Amino acid sequence: MQSEPASAPGEVLAIKNTHSGMVLSLDNHFLASVLNESVKRSRFVDVQYGEMSRDAVSFEPFPAIPGVDPGQLEQWIQAIHVDAVSAIEWKWKESWKVGPRTIQDSMWFFFLKGSGHGWVGTPKDEFRYGPGDMILIPQGVPHMVEQDADVGSHLFAIHFHAQVYGAINLLTMLEMPYLVHSTRLADFEASSQRMAREFAVKAPAWRTLMNTEVLLVLFNILRERAASCHARVTGPTLSELPRFLPVFEQIEARLGDSNFCVPDMAKTVFLSEVQFRKLFRRVTGMNPIRFVQRRRIEKSCVLLQTTGKTIEVIAEECGFCDAPFFYRAFRKWISMTPSQYRHSRRF
């Protein structure tokens, strides 16, 4: 290969192959950017005895979430608790539709095949989806998914809970994007396949592995799509969250205790019952009794889907002193009976 003498910035650099006679013309700025990026990607430094390691500054930094301090984000991440509920692989026939509906856990659809439209939040936020797309749906958020006419779909439906401080849904807290495309670095297909297999086979440690896969997917979204996320929790609520961490830990530890009450919670953070109720509602958006009941129902959903325990035993383990009350509360929150929920194959 030979080239013309160095050119000035902005000029075209001609590179001629002496064997074939072909000439390749490159803009000087483009060539410089390619060479600089190549050098940056392969920058290694001497360590000892001729060994070399890649310089940390040669790695491309991850984008930051707008308005979120990295230290604060690290604190939130350390406080995440995940419970995988179910993972099922589906093949939908033509003209299939989900919703509009609202569900009491978070989930994602990952599409191997198929196309269609949907919305999460409100119908005005409608989007198109296709193969390789994930639709991420936070707990309690209305949504609808409908495939195109005369098109079948092959997909995974993954249900889970992901809470920060046991109180705030992670997807809602960081306003994670509803539509995400799988990439080489964020392979949602592989995670979804592994989870469906674990849920079906239920080999030893399957729940731990499913929880790990949920975290992996969510963290990959935060890494790759950070610019699309925004902190929804701000101001006084943000500063009060850590203060209530002992309360949330106490709630999780005593979900099975039917005698657990609001005064017990208030004592944990040295507040009067009146002050506690006021601050708790401000932090979580609901009163403490309703919050505890929701967490008990969420736990019961996980147990119904992941264990063979009787409904009466699950009711007792989740703090309901009698089965009829559990049935009424469950139907109120989930819109079906515990038995119907257990035998449903959820999408």
User: What is the spatial distance between Cα 199 and Cα 306, in angstroms, rounded to a whole number?
Assistant: 8
Per-residue confidence at 26, pLDDT binned at 50, 70, 90?
Answer: very low
**Pair (8, 133) in one structural domain:** no
Per-residue confidence at 240, pLDDT binned at 50, 70, 90?
Answer: confident
- Of residues 9 and 309, the one with the higher pLDDT is 309
- Assigned domain for 106 exists: yes
Question: For the whole model, what pTM was predicted?
Answer: 0.74
**Pair (91, 216) in one structural domain:** yes
31-40 own/partner pairs: CB under 8 Å, 24+ apart: none
User: What is the spatial distance between Cα 271 and Cα 263, in angstroms, rounded to a whole number?
Assistant: 9
- Assigned domain for 261 exists: yes
278-283 own/partner pairs: CB under 8 Å, 24+ apart: 279/240, 279/244, 280/244, 280/247, 282/236, 282/237, 282/240, 283/167, 283/237, 283/240, 283/241, 283/244
β-pairing verdict for 143-147 and 133-137: unpaired
The single-letter DSSP state of residue 13 is: E
Residue 346 has pLDDT above 80, yes or no: no
Instruction: Give mean pLDDT, residues 101-125.
Output: 92
User: Using an 8 Å Cβ cutoff, are 153 and 92 in contact?
Assistant: yes
Whole-number pLDDT of residue 20: 43
- Of residues 314 and 11, the one with the higher pLDDT is 314
Give the list of residues 6+ apart from residue 8 with CB closer than 8 angstroms, or none. Answer: 28
Q: Which of residues 33, 58, 83 is at a domain's end?
A: 58
Beta bridge partners of 92: 153
Q: Measured in Å, how far apart are the chain's first and last C-alpha atoms?
A: 59
**Pair (170, 189) in one structural domain:** yes
**Pair (180, 97) in one structural domain:** yes
Report which listed range, 28-37, 191-200, 247-256, is most confident: 191-200
Whole-number pLDDT of residue 249: 85
Please tell me the total count of domains within the chain: 3
- Assigned domain for 65 exists: no
Kindly state the percentage of the chain with pLDDT values over 90: 39
Per-residue confidence at 237, pLDDT binned at 50, 70, 90?
Answer: low
The tokens for 196 are: 């469906």
**Pair (327, 241) in one structural domain:** yes
Tokens 């208030």 identify what position?
Answer: 266
- Of residues 19 and 218, the one with the higher pLDDT is 218
- Assigned domain for 63 exists: no
- Assigned domain for 150 exists: yes
Q: Which of residues 168, 200, 228 is at a domain's end?
A: 228
Looking up residue 339, the CATH number of its domain turns out to be: 1.10.10.60
User: Using an 8 Å Cβ cutoff, are 161 and 139 in contact?
Assistant: yes
**Pair (54, 119) in one structural domain:** no
- Assigned domain for 279 exists: yes
Per-residue confidence at 182, pLDDT binned at 50, 70, 90?
Answer: confident
User: What does the pLDDT look like over 65-104, one tens digit per residue?
Assistant: 887 878 878 888 888 889 898 999 999 887 788 889 988 8
Identify the domain containing residue 306 by its residue range: 235-343
Residue 110 has pLDDT above 50, yes or no: yes
Pick the range with the lowest mean pLDDT from 23-37, 166-180, 303-317, 328-342. Answer: 23-37
**Pair (158, 39) in one structural domain:** no
Tokens 């592995």 identify what position?
Answer: 209
User: What does the pLDDT look like over 188-210, one tens digit per residue?
Assistant: 999 999 999 999 999 999 999 99
User: What is the spatial distance between Cα 13 and Cα 11, in angstroms, rounded to a whole number?
Assistant: 6
Per-residue confidence at 64, pLDDT binned at 50, 70, 90?
Answer: confident
Residue 308 has pLDDT above 60, yes or no: yes
Residue closest to 151 by CA, chosen among 192, 116, 110, 186: 116
**Pair (37, 114) in one structural domain:** no
Tokens 């950070």 identify what position?
Answer: 226
Kindly state the percentage of the chain with pLDDT values over 70: 81
Q: Which of residues 171, 200, 228 is at a domain's end?
A: 228
**Pair (239, 223) in one structural domain:** no
Residue 335 has pLDDT above 90, yes or no: no
User: What is the spatial distance between Cα 338 and Cα 344, in angstroms, rounded to a whole number?
Assistant: 10
Beta bridge partners of 80: 164
- Of residues 236 and 211, the one with the higher pLDDT is 211
Task: Give how far Cα 4 sits from Cα of 16, 17, 21, 339, Å.
Answer: 8, 12, 14, 79
- Assigned domain for 64 exists: no
DSSP string, 142-185: -EEEEEPTT--EEEEEEEEEEEETTTEEHHHHTT--SEEE--SS
Residue 300 has pLDDT above 60, yes or no: yes
298 three-state secondary structure: helix
